[in-house]
Amino acid sequence: MDNEIPRRRVVVTGIGLVSPLGVGTEATWNGLMAGTSGVGKITHFDAAGYPTRIAAEVEGFDPLDYVPKKDVKKSDRFIHFALAAAQEAVAGSGLVIDDGNRERIGVVIGSGIGGLPVIEATHRTLLERGPSRVSPFFIPAQIVNMAAGQVSIHFGVHGPNGAPATACTTGLHAIGDAYRHIQYGTAEAMIAGGTEAVITPLGMAGFSAMRALSTRNDEPDKASRPWDRERDGFVVGEGAGILVLEALDQALARGAPIHAEIVGYGMSADAYHISAPEPHGNGAALVMRAALQDAGLAPEAIGYVNAHGTSTPLGDVSEVRAVKKVFGQHAYKLAISSTKSATGHLLGAAGGLEAGILALALENQILPPTLNLDRPDEEADLDFVPHTPRPASFEHGLTNSFGFGGTNGALIMRRWQG
């Protein structure tokens, strides 16, 4: 159509990762390549008496490295993670923010749950010491949009600002929203992704009550095992994954490092159940097809899928069925892996972390492995890159995120070769 708005090309110029494999992108990527598991015994609180006593915690993280001392207690851990990852992403991108561009740079960072540690601690204060002892910073310390708000304040950027809260699809949806802002010209650059920190007594009790978690307490490093016949639930993780996205013309003009190009994005809903996936994978298939259509690609163009792959009995099979629906015979030529086997499931941060991993996989032409895949499920007859990373040559990769409520997202990236 003559009146159709031309869409700008969008590239990833910065990556910031805080994960159970390490603080920083290099530590996370090196951990993936070494086949390291970030899962261990819970140390954030005494989990004795819980059916699940393992999680994927971020070790060695000091918020004082990223947040002024006077502000640390005014914000929750999920905000600290976002600030750390955003600072790494912006520094790596080489993007200089000044009065000439700050109104054209925005932030979209979401969280699935928000500041659960602060909520729990403040509720104890209320019960034990009364309402007068509740901190005036309680609300801004824990509301979901405050990660995006704090990042925008830190960098002084005035462009589009948002915070999706779409369960485990949050981080991917945030990047998709940011991608659209640049595509259609409402921003030149965006800081986008997800962040989460809910390894708390209430968080773990809630997921345990749903019987959603692995109870492999004596073998934490083997607990996250997507597509394996002995999988028994997911492992809660924490951290953040933040990308800097830019319009291609701007990135080229300033000689920015380009990790990958984003070329397709899709959203869909299962419209099936509050927590269980649609068993035949119809919603997941719909979202992958939407991303392919957005990218203008045939299914055969995709060489690698970074799957949602949570290690749950129902979810893993549903995703396999969806991949077979979308890719047909090409599904058997695809490489597919779940990096949650190493990092655990970062919930609202998962999509941001895994988008960063996809960009790095394309840039390095290496497929991250699926750990602990010893005996694949009967329907899991595809190439899941078991145990060890693998060199590969591929031009396009796709990453999936699916969340409670049946919300789905898929993002496609292209290898950047200049």
Whether residue 246 sits in one domain with residue 292? no
What pLDDT band is residue 1 in, cutting at 50, 70 and 90?
very low
Q: CB burial class (10 A; 0-12, 13-18, 19+) of residue 38?
A: buried
Is 260 part of a structural domain of the chain?
no
Q: CB burial class (10 A; 0-12, 13-18, 19+) of residue 405?
A: middle
The 10s digit of each residue's pLDDT in 315-347 is 999 999 999 999 999 999 999 999 999 999 999
Of 221, 253, 285, which residue constitutes the final position of a domain? 253
Q: Write the CATH number for 133.
A: 3.40.47.10
Q: What is the extent of the structural domain holding 149?
A: 11-253
In whole angstroms, what is the distance from residue 306 CA to residue 338 CA?
6
The 10s digit of each residue's pLDDT in 286-300 is 999 999 999 999 999
Q: Known catalytic residue: 259?
A: no
Bridge partner residues of 415 (DSSP):
260
The predicted model gives 408-418 an average pLDDT of 96
In whole angstroms, what is the distance from residue 322 CA to residue 178 CA?
26
> What are the angstrom distances between the C-alpha of 340 and each of 17, 33, 67?
14, 13, 28
The predicted model gives 142-164 an average pLDDT of 98
Q: How many CB atoms lie within 10 A of CB 288?
A: 28
Whether residue 220 sits in one domain with residue 104? yes
374 pLDDT exceeds 50?
Answer: yes
Q: Which of 154, 168, 173, 181 is catalytic?
A: 168
Is 5 part of a structural domain of the chain?
no
Whether residue 247 sits in one domain with residue 271? no
Is 133 part of a structural domain of the chain?
yes
The 10s digit of each residue's pLDDT in 383-395 is 999 999 999 999 9
pLDDT at 88: 98
Tokens of 172: 């991917």
What pLDDT band is residue 127 in, cutting at 50, 70 and 90?
very high
2 pLDDT exceeds 70?
Answer: no
Q: Which of 154, 181, 259, 345 is catalytic?
A: 345
Whether residue 282 sits in one domain with residue 381? yes
Whether residue 238 sits in one domain with residue 137? yes
Is 3 part of a structural domain of the chain?
no
Task: Write out the chain in H/E/C secondary structure.
Answer: CCCCCCCCCEEEEEEEEEECCEECHHHHHHHHHCCCCCCEECCCCCCCCCCCCEEECCCCCCHHHCCCHHHHCCCCHHHHHHHHHHHHHHHHHCCCCCCCCHHHEEEEEECCCCCHHHHHHHHHHHHHHCHHHCCCCHHHHHCCCHHHHHHHHHHCCCCCEECCCCHHHHHHHHHHHHHHHHHCCCCCEEEEEEEECCCCHHHHHHHHHCCCECCCCCCHHHCCCCCECCCCCECEECEEEEEEEEEHHHHHHCCCCCCEEEEEEEEEECCCCCCCCCCCCHHHHHHHHHHHHHHCCCHHHEEEEECCCCCCHHHHHHHHHHHHHHHHHHHHCCEEECCHHHHCECHHHHHHHHHHHHHHHHHHCEECCECCCCCECCCCCCECCECCCEECCCCEEEEEEEECCCEEEEEEEEECCC
Q: Which of 173, 181, 259, 308 is catalytic?
A: 308
pLDDT at 4: 66
Whether residue 194 sits in one domain with residue 83? yes
Is 4 part of a structural domain of the chain?
no
pLDDT at 311: 98
Q: Known catalytic residue: 123?
A: no
Task: Give the total number of structural domains in the chain.
Answer: 2
Of 197, 220, 253, which residue constitutes the final position of a domain? 253
pTM of the model: 0.97
Q: Known catalytic residue: 308?
A: yes
Whether residue 126 sits in one domain with residue 77? yes
In whole angstroms, what is the distance from residue 34 CA to residue 20 CA?
14
Whether residue 286 sits in one domain with residue 221? no
pLDDT at 264: 98
Strands 105-110 and 189-196: parallel
